[in-house]
Structure formats: structure tokens, C-alpha cells
Amino acid sequence: MIDKKRLCKFLVEAKKSTYAAGETAKEIVENDKSTTLVFENGNLKYHDNYFGGEPFGGREVVFLQNQSIYIMTYYGLVDKSVSDFKPVYKVLQKALSLIPENYPFRGPKEYVDDELIYKNNYTGEIDNFFGEETISRAGKEIYKARYIGGFVDIRKEE
């Protein structure tokens, strides 16, 4: 089993080095047309595998010595009224680069970038949590994603 603080610290490092890093992140396009981002540090490995661009869905998994210990799944989309969603995803990447170490699920509770406001509301701790992030412009929600996750495979049948 991994210490919660160690996992949180690793997740911050991994997420800042993958999707939140933008174009500098190394992407692997899989045979199923999904995209995988990988980060490794010592005996810990992080995989972020997602499908689509708009809308999108995926999962993040952390492995300790090649054994899965943590998962988070997510699904999100930009409102159909938004024709150019690239600025929305740029703000999302910036918000995700500000990931809080105590709650490394997505971005901070709030981040403002010009007229776009990112908000992240969550419940729980790293071992069992869920949440929702939104981006609004002029008081209108234009992006929403939901996520859920926690530890996996920690109890064994007797």
C-alpha cells in the first residue's frame, strides 16, 4: 500500500508533466484511436488514457510496482453554443497545471483567466472522491466535466 501523501505528491508531478504540460507532453496514439500519456518516477507509473477531443472521456491509473493502486475516470464536454473550443481547453490546461497537492483530482477550487472562470467542486479524499469542474463565461457555463476515483485493489477475499 502507498502512503496517501506520497500518492498525492506523485499525482501532482505526473499531471503537471502530462496533459497540463500542453504540447510538450509525450502522447501515444493507441490502435483504438485513444491517446495515452505516461509518467514514471521510481516504482510509480501514471497512465492517462482518453478518447475523443470534444466531448472526451478517460481514465487515470497509478501503478506501484506494476500493480494498479488508484484510478480516476472522467467525462467532459464544451457547450454546443461554443464554436471555437480551443480557448476553453487552453484555460483547462492552465487550471490543471495549478493542481493542489492535498486534493490532486483536477485543478484548484477556482482559476480566472480573462473572461473565463474555472471552478472545481469535489468531495472526499484521495482514497475515495468525486467531483465536477466547470468553465463559465459571462455567467454562462460553457464547459463541464465530472470525475470519480480512489484506491483500487486494497482488500483481498479470505
Provide the 3-class DSSP secondary structure of residue 87. helix
In this prediction the pTM is: 0.90
Binned at pLDDT 50, 70 and 90, residue 25 comes out as confident
In the chain, what are the domain boundaries?
4-151
Least confident of 16-30, 57-71, 94-108, 112-126: 16-30
From residue 107, alpha-carbon distances to 92, 111, 115, 137, 157 in Å are: 8, 8, 18, 18, 36
61-91 residue pLDDT tens: 999 999 999 999 999 999 999 999 899 999 9
Task: Please give the Cα distance from 108 to 128 (Å, whole number).
Answer: 18
Assigned C-alpha cell, 71: 484510478
pLDDT, position 158: 66
Residue 154 reports pLDDT greater than 80:
no
- Rounded average pLDDT over 18-27: 80
Binned at pLDDT 50, 70 and 90, residue 20 comes out as confident
Task: Please give the Cα distance from 94 to 53 (Å, whole number).
Answer: 17
pLDDT, position 22: 74
pLDDT, position 14: 94
Provide the 3-class DSSP secondary structure of residue 12. helix
Q: What angle do CA 29, 30, 36 make, to 5 degrees?
A: 65
